[in-house]
Amino acid sequence: MKNKKIWLSSPHMGGNEFKYVTEAFDLNWIAPVGPHLNNFEKNLSKVSEGKHIAALGSGTSAIHLALILLGVECGDEVICSTFTFSASANPIVYQGAKPIFVDSELDTWNMCPDSLRIALKERLNLGKKPKAIIVVHLYGMPAKMNQIISIANEYDIPIIEDAAEGLGSTYFNKPLGSLTDFGVYSFNGNKIITTSGGGALISSDEDSIKKAKFLATQARDNAPHYEHSHIGFNYRLSNVSAAIGLGQLEVLQERVERRREIFEYYKKELLDINVISFVEEPDGFYSNRWLTTVLISEDSKVSSEDLRLHLESDNIESRPLWKPMHLQPIFSSCDFYGSDNSEFLFKYGLCLPSGSNMTNEDLNRIVIKIKEAFEN
């Protein structure tokens, strides 16, 4: 008989979600509008530097709307982190624009400022000024935003922060997602908090968020009949999903603290395996440690894939790091700037189980299995 499944990162309810969902049913607000949706946006704003919020059906839809609001159109170019999930880049293609991928640096694994500068210089030399920059905060670790913002300002290019994995993280005490023109959160089931599926677009520009909500509700003009002067989308978060989110926001800080505890546990317990290393926080960087990630040394007899399969044999889920976008078949024709950092991380990295609902017994079982892999 198999041991209990340990997931990479599964939903973790806080206790009040069912109460708020029951309220939504009792009040019959079973629609993409309602008091729970309004309160969810209000409470999310409180943990996002008071920014204006549009709660949406996914983080992907939030990126898409941000690109529309920034005027990205067919034939334009958008700079994007290559070391990320495809949802960061797909909305660029939705707009008929072209992604230009930029490599990672090895301190935080996020977009390399030096490679970004090289990319912008070359695109301008080609007469193609990118319309936007999508910077991903990978696995909850902040990117080097001071440098990136400085470069973007120099070239007068707006930034979209993809903080899908970064809710609860801060950069010099400022919440990720609140640092630039637009920020994006995800509330997918595997994220640090969830609405079962959902996301949010955040901005200090109230008019932009009002327009995002307009576009997200099929762009219905103010008329007694259905009048449309813009192409709209069915992107609004439902009131029932927002009710789940209300309960989840109440335990956000607890979830961050637990995931950071899990990171520290792995780091302490695996200290003696000198071929395993962890990414550390630079000064001023505070990661929610959404997923604990490790690198396996190039000279290790046990590869990251060997370790993944060994954990899988005991019903423990782990996962390779993101395969860089410029190596994906669908984006193989896109330009890329950098070296082989992201390719190196993909080859030698692994995400360990990091769910805040894991027990100490679960963690101990995982560590025993990891040690076993390197002892054989």
Domain ranges (residues) in the chain: 17-249, 252-375
Structure-token pair, residue 110: 């996020």
Gap between the Cα atoms of 146 and 16, Å rounded: 38
Any alpha helices (H) in 195-251, and if so which ranges?
206-216, 239-249
Cα distances from 371 to residues 225, 267, 280, 320, 376, in angstroms, run 66, 13, 22, 18, 9
d(CA 59, CA 202): 11
What confidence score (pLDDT) does residue 302 get? 97
Distance CA 338, CA 104 (A): 8
Do the domains 17-249 and 252-375 sit in the same CATH topology, yes or no? no
**What pLDDT score does 2 carry?**
84
Give pLDDT < 50 ranges for the chain: none
Predicted pLDDT at 318: 98
CATH of domain 17-249: 3.40.640.10
pLDDT at 376: 67
pTM (2 d.p.): 0.97
- In angstroms, the CA 304 to CA 350 distance is 6
Q: 217 forms bridges with which residues in the sheet?
A: 234
pLDDT tens digits for range 53-74: 999 999 999 999 999 999 999 9
Residue 151: its pLDDT value, please? 98
User: 252-375 adopts what CATH topology?
Assistant: Aspartate Aminotransferase, domain 1 (3.90.1150)
The predicted structure's pLDDT at residue 1:
74
Residue whose C-alpha is closest to residue 182's, from 264, 61, 303, 288: 61
